[in-house]
């Protein structure tokens, strides 16, 4: 889920094409033999050593994308020609020079349309400039070969937009890859690219990482390039990546964190391994709303506690420091204000009758919900959310990190939280399903999903670790330790294109 990073709807768009219900077709090309795919760090090193050229790396990734798209529907805009031209030029620089990459389709990349997973943007013009954090990725040498799929405006924890059809999870094609960075996660999990852009306004890095067996770290508010001026609880969205290895995430982080004048935090730099420091970790099972997770999720949490204890960390029970029911309603109110803006703009530019054809039922339902609230409700919700930040920070007087599940359920079946489910039922499902992650967006805290459990039928279940704002080093160091103690990179999903 990743709202509050969207631009307004296009003021003058023409009639929108019929929503696609099948995977977006990619340009047909003769597919070369695909070599096994290493992580981004290894691939970049091979390119530096001239064992493989950027052109070969990008060509291989395009071949994987062509083969995978009919099964996964992970990409909405292919930029293959541009990527090949960039790779051929031979002048790519940066720590990840030549590594193929995807940009999420909620963010502007120069020369490509930004469709925001919405029928209202199907005819969007190409962006004239890239957003600052997107430019940071390209300065690191990453070669953008396409825009990855996302739900409408990033509102839902699944990638099943009416405009483009569902993105499928490579661990089980009938299940959700998560949202809102679902296309990115499916692509990385299936071995198409080693790392991909993701963003997080309520769990949108961590949720798809959990669903797809990946590592996903949500940076602190104001930490990354392009977000350095964010300071308020309503500044929810942050950008980073999903990856299979911790070192890829750490490397991209070091290349894209803001360290210039006015930086809110001391730069983390490149974290390369675990710390010897033993941590005080608080653990809780229930969601912020007081609901229990599924049995498989509880099993994963219990196993993670045992693993942490065996490594010498001190794990003790804790409780949420906030009134979960009030927080959940306030967060939903804040979320809904963005949807209300979308409805207002469509109404103003195309007329009220166009709204159902341009926007999804869930978006419309959010807008209707907020329209029925008293005039003071939005301001009161924001004030309570702002007041929750120091309460969250005080939690860490007793703990270094907090452990919870990422989600209340393993990756759900497609359709369970789709935008066409009746609004009241869908809202109840979503608030239970994502009852752990939004707290950390409001707090501006660093948090991560680590792939430490798989269900009996082979679905990944991520475990969630959170600190305070600025605690990325602590999280990366623990992630390296967990990766060494219980490796996951050798696990490949049934739908795999990495060779």
Q: What is the pLDDT of residues 217-259, one digit of tens each?
A: 999 999 999 999 999 999 999 999 999 999 999 999 999 999 9
Q: Are strands 401-405 and 447-454 parallel, antiparallel or unpaired?
A: unpaired
Residue 173: count other Cβ atoms within 10 Å of its Cβ: 16
Token couple for 186:
């499916």
pLDDT band at 19 (very low <50, low <70, confident <90, very high): very low
Q: How confident is the model at residue 27 (pLDDT cuts 50, 70, 90)?
A: low
**Residue 353, helix vs strand vs coil:** helix
Q: Among 12-26, 199-213, 400-414, whose mean pLDDT is lowest? A: 12-26
Span 308-334, pLDDT tens digits? 999 999 999 999 999 999 999 999 999
Angle between helices 423-433 and 324-350 in degrees, nearest 10: 130
The answer to whether residue 2 is domain-embedded is no
CA 133/CA 238 separation, integer angstroms: 10
- Residue 23 banded pLDDT, cuts 50, 70, 90: confident
Question: Which bin fits 165, alpha (ψ -120 to 50), beta or left (φ > 0)?
Answer: left
| pLDDT tens, residue by residue, 415-443 | 999 999 999 999 999 999 999 999 999 99
pLDDT at 17: 33
Q: Using 50, 70 and 90 to split pLDDT, how confident is the model at 25?
A: confident
Query: How many independent structural domains does the chain possess?
Result: 1
Q: Is 185 helix (H, G, I), strand (E, B) or coil?
A: helix
pLDDT above 60 (res 11): no
Determine the average pLDDT of the residues in 31-50.
80
**What is the pLDDT of the chain when averaged over all its residues?**
94
Q: Is the peptide bond before 180 cis (omega within 30 degrees of 0)?
A: yes
The answer to the question of residue 32 being in a domain is no
In a domain, 344, yes or no: yes
Q: Does any domain span residue 6?
A: no
**Residue-wise pLDDT tens digits, 249-301:** 999 999 999 999 999 999 999 999 999 999 999 999 999 999 999 999 999 99
What residues are paired with 197 via a beta bridge?
241
What is the spatial distance between Cα 460 and Cα 457, in angstroms, rounded to a whole number? 9
Catalytic residues: 104, 180, 204
Tell me the C-alpha distance between 399 and 177, whole Å: 32
Report the Cα 296 to chain-centroid distance in Å.
Answer: 23
7 domain residue, yes or no: no
Q: Is residue 18 part of a domain?
A: no
Residue 119 DSSP symbol? G
Query: How many whole angstroms separate alpha carbon 131 and alpha carbon 125?
Result: 15
pLDDT value of residue 458: 97
Residue 115: pLDDT above 60? yes
CATH at 465: 3.90.1300.10
Q: CA dihedral defined by 244, 246, 252, 256, rounded to 10 degrees?
A: 130
* pTM, entire model: 0.94
Burial tier of 286 (Cβ tally within 10 Å: 0-12, 13-18, 19+) = middle
The answer to whether the beta carbons of residues 166 and 157 sit under 8 Å apart is: no
Strand partners, 30: none
Flag whether 379 is in a domain: yes
Strand order in the sheet with 401-405: 195-200, 238-243, 215-218, 447-454, 460-466, 401-405, 280-283, 314-317
Range of the domain at 81: 40-485
33: pLDDT confidence band, cut at 50, 70 and 90?
very low
Hey, how many other C-beta atoms are within 10 angstroms of the C-beta on 418?
22
Residues in contact with 174: Cβ distance below 8 Å, sequence separation at least 6, in sequence order: 168, 413, 414
Query: Is 401 contained in some domain?
Result: yes
Arithmetic mean of pLDDT, 132-138: 98
């Amino acid at each position: 889920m990743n709202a509050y990073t969207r631009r307004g709807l296009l003021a003058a768009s023409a009639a929108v094409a019929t929503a696609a219900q099948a995977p977006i077709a990619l340009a047909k090309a003769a597919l070369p033999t695909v070599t096994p795919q290493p992580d981004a760090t290894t691939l970049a090193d091979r390119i530096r050593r001239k064992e493989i050229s950027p052109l070969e790396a990008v060509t291989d990734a395009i071949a994987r994308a062509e083969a995978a798209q009919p099964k996964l529907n992970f990409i909405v805009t292919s930029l293959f020609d541009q990527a090949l031209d960039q790779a051929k030029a031979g002048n790519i620089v940066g720590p990840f020079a030549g590594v193929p990459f995807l940009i999420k389709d909620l963010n502007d990349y120069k020369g490509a349309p930004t469709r925001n997973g919405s029928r209202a943007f199907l005819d969007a013009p190409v962006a004239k400039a890239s957003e600052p954090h997107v430019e940071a990725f390209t300065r690191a040498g990453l070669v953008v070969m396409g825009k990855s799929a996302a739900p409408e405006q990033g509102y839902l924890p699944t990638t099943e937009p009416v405009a483009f059809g569902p993105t499928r999870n490579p661990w089980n094609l009938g299940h959700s890859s998560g949202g809102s960075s679902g296309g990115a996660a499916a692509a990385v999990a299936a071995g198409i690219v080693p790392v991909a852009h993701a963003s997080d306004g309520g769990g949108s890095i961590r949720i798809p990482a959990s669903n797809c067996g990946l590592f996903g770290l949500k940076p602190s508010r104001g930490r990354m390039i392009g977000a350095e001026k964010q300071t308020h609880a309503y500044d929810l969205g942050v950008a980073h990546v999903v990856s299979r290895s911790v070192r890829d995430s750490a490397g991209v982080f070091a290349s894209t964190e803001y360290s210039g004048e006015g930086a809110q935090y001391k730069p983390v730099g490149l974290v390369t391994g675990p710390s010897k420091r033993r941590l005080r970790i608080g653990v809780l099972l229930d969601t912020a709303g007081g609901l229990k997770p599924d049995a498989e999720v509880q099993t994963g949490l219990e196993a993670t506690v045992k693993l942490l204890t065996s490594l010498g960390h001190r794990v003790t029970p804790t409780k949420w420091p906030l009134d979960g029911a009030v927080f959940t309603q306030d967060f939903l109110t804040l979320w809904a204000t963005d949807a209300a803006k979308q409805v207002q703009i469509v109404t103003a530019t195309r007329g009220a009758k166009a709204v159902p054809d341009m926007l999804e039922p869930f978006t419309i339902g959010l807008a209707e919900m907020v329209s029925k609230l008293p005039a003071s409700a939005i301001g009161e919700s924001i004030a309570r959310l702002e007041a929750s930040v120091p309460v969250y920070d005080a939690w860490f007087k007793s703990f270094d990190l907090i452990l919870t599940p990422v989600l209340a359920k393993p990756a759900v079946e497609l359709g369970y939280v789709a935008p066409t489910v009746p609004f009241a039922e869908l809202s109840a499902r979503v608030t239970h399903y994502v009852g752990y992650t939004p707290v950390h967006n409001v707090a501006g805290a660093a948090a991560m999903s680590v792939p430490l459990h798989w269900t009996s039928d082979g679905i990944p279940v991520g475990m969630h670790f959170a600190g305070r704002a600025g605690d990325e080093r602590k999280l990366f160091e623990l992630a390296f330790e967990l990766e060494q103690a219980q490796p996951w990179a050798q696990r490949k999903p049934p739908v795999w294109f990495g060779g």
